[in-house]
Amino acid sequence: MDFLQQLGLEQENAGVSTGAEWLPSTGEKIQSFSPVDGRLIGSVTATDKETYDKVVAKATAAFKEWRMVPAPRRGEVVRQFGEALREKKEALGKLVSYEMGKSLQEGLGEVQEMIDICDFAVGLSRQLYGLTMHSERPLHRMYEQWHPLGIVGIISAFNFPVAVWSWNTALSWICGDVCIWKPSEKTPLCGIACQKIIAEVFAKNNVPEGVSCLVQGGREVGEWLSNDTNIPLVSATGSTRMGKAVSAAVAARLGRSILELGGNNAIIISQHADLDMSIIGALFGAVGTAGQRCTSTRRLIIHESVYDTFKEKLANAYQQLSIGDPLDTKNHVGPLIDKDAVKLYLGAIEQGKQQGATFIVEGGVLEGAGYESGCYVKPCIAEVTNDLAIVQHETFAPILYLIKYKTIEEAIELQNGVPQGLSSAIMTLNIRESELFLSHAGSDCGIANVNIGTSGAEIGGAFGGEKETGGGRESGSDAWKAYMRRQTNTMNWGTQLPLAQGIKFHI
Ligand code: UN1
């Protein structure tokens, strides 16, 4: 386990940090067990309220300094962060794989997303553009500026334990904001490793303590962040249930939130699809990361004329999957995050059966050598109708539902007929179908793809979705605007004070 040492991880770690400084706290010890082999990797100490308040005070003071650093200079620090990640890519990718359970390729891919968002943010640090407008009054000028917001609270999930933090921090930092991050209590060591990497970069650049803060803990710590009027923006990734609680708490104090919640993503497989290509898209989408991406493919909506052929090809492909240690690159599917996730997976299969789902590839928990952690499960496939309660619900596991359709309009209705709205795709070589799918009468999701699957979005686009997915956008495009406050400025350079809307006011 060289990577643990390379990342500076100890058996017991302080969990709270404002940068180079690690703060003692009296919170509970969170133990991190690997789903790969069930071994204890290490522990961290959660934050208590008093220590949390110290972190907020430090971050508040740091913001006053950091916001005055020119944005391109902040970008230069983020560039160096990207360089540090390039050096640590192998070690951090292994930690992600070992602590979270995704394949090593995907662990490395996640660190690559961090590197990519740093590159994106560096360029952006010279492009935080506002518009200029023509004033209706003579000798006046109007324009808008984007100013830093303050502290950004980041609540991230176990499934992307490092990348989601970096999407938020890389943008926040170039925007002049400071961050307080609460990683998932299921992947606390990923949090420690990232904080150590950034602390080194910040120290070299004399960035004040408090620009990158880490707090550890469960729901209670998330509630402190959500209710804290010192924190103008909370960016939360996780379940819809968690998102609703964060959203309500932040809205009650009229703060802002960016919510990136559950998906129930479908691929429409048309009769005009390249079926071989569609198999790869569907397979990776459904079983990649053991079905634990918010963009994982949960439903396949297949045209009746190709339904049986596709079903057979897919079931064959499932037989080829090797399930096991995700650090061994010959395996396709690793474990679920923990035994609670296994229970939810089994519960969903049971409920599916009760509600009328017919399993054509059976699920189950794997036992025996290599599966000692109890977290390895078989990816499974069920034939269903879209209205089953279990199909309407996001289960974070490799359970794939097949649904049959007759017309493209019906397929789009089925695709949209769930409470969530994150990612969607159509496999077709027919341009009328693909254009309809992408039109305003088409997919209602934040992400809509043609001839690729639902997962694996690039960082350059805005990432997020509609309806119960929460409406937030992170990462690329102009998602940065959510991390800043817009100010409209009107300048009068004349000798009169004309009022807008033609109002005359004399004394
Ligand atoms: C998530 O699952 O929360 O599009 C993020 C993807 C990845 C990000 C997923 N780039 O699958």
pLDDT in tens, the chain (507 residues): 899 999 999 999 999 999 999 999 999 999 999 999 999 999 999 999 999 999 999 999 999 999 999 999 999 999 999 999 999 999 999 999 999 999 999 999 999 999 999 999 999 999 999 999 999 999 999 999 999 999 999 999 999 999 999 999 999 999 999 999 999 999 999 999 999 999 999 999 999 999 999 999 999 999 999 999 999 999 999 999 999 999 999 999 999 999 999 999 999 999 999 999 999 999 999 999 999 999 999 999 999 999 999 999 999 999 999 999 999 999 999 999 999 999 999 999 999 999 999 999 999 999 999 999 999 999 999 999 999 999 999 999 999 999 999 999 999 999 999 999 999 999 999 999 999 999 999 999 999 999 999 999 999 999 999 999 999 999 999 999 999 999 999 999 999 999 999 899 988
E strands present in 406-477: 420-421, 423-427, 447-450, 462-463, 466-467, 474-475
Pocket of ligand 1 from Cβ distances under 6 Å: 113, 159-160, 164, 237, 293-295, 455-457
Ligand 1 centroid to Cα of residue 262, in Å, is 11
**HEC secondary structure over 219-251:** HHHHHHHHHCCCCCEEEEECCHHHHHHHHHHHH
CB-based contact 307:450 (threshold 8 Å): no
Q: ipTM for the complex?
A: 0.97
Q: Which atom of ligand 1 is nearest to the CA of 237?
A: 3
Question: Which atom of ligand 1 is nearest to 294's Cα?
Answer: 2
Instruction: Of 252, 195, 201, give the one whose Cα is nearest residue 77.
Output: 201
Residues near 188 by beta carbon (within 8 Å), at least 6 away in sequence: 13, 15, 30, 32, 44, 216
What is the pTM assigned to this prediction?
Answer: 0.97
* Cβ atoms within 10 Å of 301's Cβ, excluding its own: 24
Atom of ligand 1 nearest to the CA of 263: 2
**Ligand 1 pocket mutation, candidates 295, 296, 459, criterion most atoms within 8 A of CB:** 295
Q: Count, in order, helices (H) and strands (E) of the chain.
A: 13, 24
Distance 359 CA to ligand 1 centre (A): 27
From 116, 455, 473, the mutation candidate for ligand 1 (largest count of ligand atoms within 8 A of CB) is: 455
Q: pLDDT, tens digit, for every residue of 119-178?
A: 999 999 999 999 999 999 999 999 999 999 999 999 999 999 999 999 999 999 999 999
- So which residues are the catalytic ones? 260
Amino acid (1-letter code) at residue 485: R
Calculate the CA dihedral of residues 429, 433, 436, 442 and round it to 10 degrees. -100
Tell me the pLDDT tens digit for each residue of 17-28: 999 999 999 999
